[in-house]
Amino acid sequence: MKLWGGRFQKTTDRLVEDFHSSISFDQRLYKQDIQGSIAHATMLGKVGVISPEEARQIVQGLKEILTEIEQGQVEFDVAAEDIHMNVEQLLTAKIGAVGKKLHTARSRNDQVAVDIRMYLKDEIKVIRGQLRELIETLLTLAEQHLSTVMPGYTHMQRAQPITLAHHLLAYVQMFLRDMERLADCYKRTDVMPLGSGALAGTTFPLDREYTAELLGFAAVSDNSLDAVSDRDFAVEFCAAAALIMMHLSRFCEEIILWATGEFAFIELDDAYSTGSSIMPQKKNPDVAELVRGKTGRVYGDLMGLLTMLKGLPLAYNKDMQEDKEALFDAIDTVKGCLMVFRPMIATMTVRKENMAKAARGGFTNATDVADYLAKKGVPFREAHEIVGKAVFYCLQHNKTLEELTMAEYKQLSPAFADDIYDAISVEYCAAARKVRGGPAPEAVKQSIARTREMLQQI
């Protein structure tokens, strides 16, 4: 039988029925759909649109259906199109004609809008929890490597000595911003559209604030046209998810590089690595590579949503059915990547000596030599030129800055003294940068303390 088919003379073509149906993917909204319906029926009973007894029957029937779904006793019907009609059909079959009153003063347009918002609110909480755990893991790792010196890079060239703790805290800042963005997105998702009807509200005397209270929404939508057609919150989430994935991908790129024989800064745990089908010596960072690769999926989800919405007039259009698969995929991808990324980082072995050796090469302390001269009164631009000549001299004579004799230093500038050797050890170079946000152990400790305090507030 054709749904809502009073004005039609033909049944829906089977191909169209399959094409039109969304139950294959929106069935995951069953819990939110039933919760929304329970609140709606309770409110209808409260304001007298249906009797208290009818409301009681509907609520009891919906609770039973929820239990049956969770116990795997329900097989959804493609012909019923979506999760909303499937639940309503199940309810009517269970309690009879009273079940048909559930849809009073409600449209599938505001029903799906409230379902998606409830679902996304739950998932945002989960993902924020995963980010919190990742940040805690990175902070713990940073505390273990306050003095682990490594080269910092610009343009993928060794630049200046830093510490692994300092490097890890850079990603902590990224993930903190991700948490804040999700909290912001949550605020705009936490608005209840139910009661907006198809687009113009309803003539029934609804108590929307009471429904919002039952469902745990902080606010009620203020325009029915916008309420049923708004998917900004979904786009905003996918944008936040894309940034999370970008941060994970950048981190994974470094993990992949660090795990190579050329860098040898870390070794990944066997549980988070794979082998080769033909080369027995290989240990591949496949988890990190997959996270890097899956980033493109979430970018695609974001672009799909934006493109779907960009040409839609108000209010609801069937195109908007396409919002769910993109949103669900972004949620699933981010959660899946965070689930494996955190333990991969937590279990990796850090090769401290290799990091320190790399920090001592590539003249990463050249800036410190220039700073040394500047502190001796040499204008920095002049100091920069002197050190550039010193590096060129070292390259010609296969030496490092630490290996230059005092006589060689004096030929470059009379400002050099014996204390230059203390000033250019990579350990000192990192430890001397005590400015807030710098790599010195004491600065990093303060940053960790501030981060832990911030975590309690967001």
CATH 1.10.40.30 occupies which residues in the chain? 359-457
Residue 40 reports pLDDT greater than 70: yes
Q: Could you give the residue range(s) of every CATH 1.10.275.10 domain in the chain?
A: 14-106
For the segment 287-298, the average pLDDT, to the nearest whole number, is 98
Q: What is the pLDDT of residue 280?
A: 87
pLDDT of residue 5: 57
- CATH topology classification for 14-106: Fumarase C; Chain B, domain 1 (1.10.275)
Q: Does 411 score more than 80 pLDDT? A: yes
Buried b (16+ CB within 10 A) or exposed e, 43-70: bbbbeebbeeebbebbbebbeebbeebe
The span from the CA of 188 to the CA of 263, in Å, is 45
The 3 state secondary structure assigned to 375-401 is HCCCCHHHHHHHHHHHHHHHHHHCCCH
Q: Smallest Cα–Cα separation from 208: which of 173, 197, 2?
A: 197
Q: Is the dihedral of CA 178, 180, 181, 187 positive or negative?
A: positive
Give catalytic status of residue 384 as yes or no.
Answer: no
269-307 b/e with 16+ CB inside 10 Å = b?
eeebbeeeeeeeeeeebebbeebbebbebbbebbebbee
Mean pLDDT of 10-17: 64
Q: Residue 69: CB partners within 8 Å, gap ≥ 6?
A: 30, 34
Is 8 a residue whose pLDDT tops 60?
Answer: no
Q: What DSSP element (H or E) covers 151?
A: strand 149-154
Residue with tokens 């946000």: 437
pLDDT at position 13:
62
Nearest to 387 by CA among 357, 395, 425: 395
**Catalytic residue selected from 167, 276, 413, 425:** 276
- CA neighbor of 82 nearest in space, from 328, 321, 332, 320: 321
- The answer to whether 404 touches 394, Cβ cutoff 8 Å, is yes
Q: What is the pLDDT of residue 149?
A: 98
Is CATH 1.10.357.10 correct for 109-144+162-190+216-351? Answer: no
pLDDT of residue 21: 81
- Flag whether pLDDT at 1 surpasses 90: no
Region 349-363: mean pLDDT is 96
Pairing of β 191-192 and β 157-163: unpaired
Bridge-partner residues for 154, per DSSP? 157
Q: What residue type is 326 in one-letter code?
A: A
- CATH 1.20.200.10 domain extents, the chain: 109-144+162-190+216-351
Mean pLDDT for the stretch of residues 38-52: 98
pLDDT averaged over the chain?
95
pLDDT digits over 229-281, tens only?
999 999 999 999 999 999 999 999 999 999 999 999 999 999 999 998 899 88
Q: How confident is the model at residue 380 (pLDDT cuts 50, 70, 90)?
A: very high
Options 37, 155, 224, 447, the catalytic residue: 155
Mean pLDDT of 105-124: 98
Say whether 276 is catalytic: yes
* 220 DSSP β-pair partners: 192
Q: How confident is the model at residue 16 (pLDDT cuts 50, 70, 90)?
A: low
Q: How confident is the model at residue 189 (pLDDT cuts 50, 70, 90)?
A: very high
58 token code pair: 């509907």
pLDDT of residue 90: 97
Residues paired with residue 150 on neighbouring β-strands, in sequence order: 162
Our measurement of the distance from residue 426's CA atom to the centroid of its chain's CA atoms, rounded to an integer in Å, reads 35
| Segment 123-140, tens digit of pLDDT | 999 999 999 999 999 999
DSSP character at residue 274: B
Q: What is the CATH number of domain 359-457?
A: 1.10.40.30
Q: Residues of the chain with pLDDT > 70: what percent?
A: 96
Q: Is it the case that residue 329 has pLDDT exceeding 70?
A: yes
What is the pLDDT confidence band of residue 368, given thresholds at 50, 70 and 90?
very high
Q: Average pLDDT in the 25-48 region?
A: 97
